[in-house]
Structure 1
């Protein structure tokens, strides 16, 4: 495992990426404290299958009804 500080990671990013692609574990740290791990990107091997929640979610009839004015005012940051 290679630990690199943020400054080194900024200046040597290409080399760190190559090392990660070669299988080395790269950890980027700040003040000696590990923050993130640099790993190769992997595509999802199986596409997402939509529709797994049928029959498990119920949407209320008034789901898209207009909100009361006092609630809309609160969202806008206004007092009641």
Structure 2
């Protein structure tokens, strides 16, 4: 892995990023940052507490919305039946 002095980065950044390989930026011989190529990562489903393999749907907050609105509006108890 190539190490580049922080003062040389502006002159060589385009060439280094075109290579697509990681490199280290150093100042006074001490590493400051490691630059890695960006890769897309697969999103993982949200976990609920300690439970595994349970995903919450995107419309979770909308489930039963009409019934709840009717109850708040003072509709009959027949909705619950």
Aligning the two structures, in what range does the TM-score lie when normalised by the shorter sequence? 0.5 to 0.7
Partners in 2 of 1:4 and 1:52 — Cα distance? 44
Please identify runs of 4+ aligned residues in structure 1 that moved more than 4 A.
none
User: Which residue does 2:18 correspond to in 1?
Assistant: 18
Question: Does the 8 A contact of 1:9 with 1:16 survive in 2?
Answer: no
**How many residues are paired up?**
51
RMSD: 1.9
Larger Rg: 2
Consecutive unaligned residues in structure 1, runs of 5 or more: 56-80
Q: Which one has a larger percent helix, Structure 1 or Structure 2?
A: 2
SS at 1:12 equivalent? helix
Calculate the TM-score normalised by the size of structure 2: 0.52
Calculate the TM-score normalised by the size of structure 1: 0.53
Question: 1:51 offset after TM fit, Å?
Answer: 3.4
User: Which residue does 1:51 correspond to in 2?
Assistant: 47
Partners in 1 of 2:45 and 2:22 — Cα distance? 32
